[in-house]
Amino acid sequence: MNTSIFEPSDEQKLLKDSIDKFLAKRYPFDARLRGTGKQVGWSREIWAELASLGILAFSLPQEHGGMVGGPLDMMFVMEALGRALVVEPFVPTVILGARCIELAGSPKQQLDILSRVADGSCLLALAHSERQARYDLASVATTARRNGQGWELRGEKFLVLGGDTADMLIVSARIADEPFGAQGLALFLVDPKAPGVGTTPYMMQDGHYAANITLADVRVDDADRLAAAGDALPVVEAVIGWATVAVCAEAVGLMESMLELTVDYLKTREQFGVKIGTFQVLQHRAVDMLTAVEQARSITLGALAALYRPDLEERRKMVSAAKVQIGKSAKMVGQSAIQLHGGIGVTMEYKVGHCFLRSSAIEVLFGDAEHHLMLLANQGGLVEPTTTEGMQHV
């Protein structure tokens, strides 16, 4: 039996190999480029094939059609999605939506929804972020007011990832008359086609899609509530933590792709009659890029491992530490890739510019590096502070 969570098993190697081969064959960059900008912006055929490979089920409970997955499984999948610049709504549905159902849903809700996520027939979106909140997860102004045997939801949600094509929304709301803050939040399942729900879809700079959602006295039943009043915030925090580390792993794949493209370009581009890859200063820059990628990979694997442990404080620290390092590494690798490519690096027809746009979007998604650095500092950092008292001077 494999005793190291960082040493892949035969099954994990097979998972990595299968998704890499699938994306290399079915998701070339030119096909991805043709898909973005259209009404949906991604391929339902590719989504169905991801489901048939078991990719949509790798982190779901076995009793609902899922597979037992660990840190390396998540790393392999998200890195591969990053390298291929996949725009299908994997994080909105599988990470944000399905994990909400798993953590807060009733047995009936889990039975009804999770198996459909695994087979690709149900798309989910977590509608939590609001304009005034920035990165404060407790800042929710959307209200849920009792109305007979159900509830009426009123408010607006901002930047709902995958909200444009979701079959079901998971909406956070504050129970009416509860004080503004961490208490009094609940989660509700909402049909995006229900009366009173307004959806404004748009494409973001990285080719992914999101939507703003308005709720005008939207009626939902008691059976559609996921978490009771006061119980929703820990669920949202846990789900956002998982999504944060997932996009960190995706960013590692993006950086790998930018590094590979840059090294190939240095080997072929000629200047002054010689390959520019022979210039020592450019070789050093490529080595610096590789170092940044490996630093990002190491901290992300550590954060993924922490998510599977019970220590809440450790999980929070590692999530923030990973996001800080990803921000630093992605900026260095991305800017270097663009600079070393020159003008071609920012054209729409070339992959490296799209990788840079996606990594830039990830840098601010779920909290930027500055925000997470502040969180990490407020938690005392990763390493216990030391003093010089009792130290020997050499």
CA distance readout (Å), 377 to 51, 133, 147, 317, 318: 40, 21, 44, 9, 12
- Whether the Cβ atoms of residue 367 and residue 322 lie closer than 8 Å to each other: no
What are the tokens at 238?
């846990």
Domain identity same for 370 and 335: yes
Domain identity same for 86 and 48: yes
CATH code where residue 188 lies: 2.40.110.10
Domain identity same for 17 and 104: yes
1 has pLDDT over 50: no
pLDDT for 93-128, tens place per residue?
999 999 999 999 999 999 999 999 999 999 999 999
Split into its structural domains, the chain has a count of 3
**299: confidence class by pLDDT, cuts 50, 70, 90:** very high
**pLDDT at res. 177:** 74
Domain identity same for 367 and 248: yes
Q: Is the residue at 384 inside a domain?
A: no
**pLDDT at res. 393:** 40
The DSSP element (H or E) to which 46 belongs, if any, is: helix 44-52
CA-only gyration radius of the chain, Å:
22
Measured distance CA(121)–CA(139) in Å, rounded:
32
197 has pLDDT over 80: yes
pTM of the model: 0.91
What are the tokens at 303?
């954060």
70 has pLDDT over 50: yes
Q: Is the residue at 1 inside a domain?
A: no
- Whether the Cβ atoms of residue 256 and residue 299 lie closer than 8 Å to each other: no
Lowest mean pLDDT among 228-242, 251-265, 358-372: 228-242
Domain span at residue 183? 125-229
**394: confidence class by pLDDT, cuts 50, 70, 90:** very low
Region 366-393 average pLDDT: 77
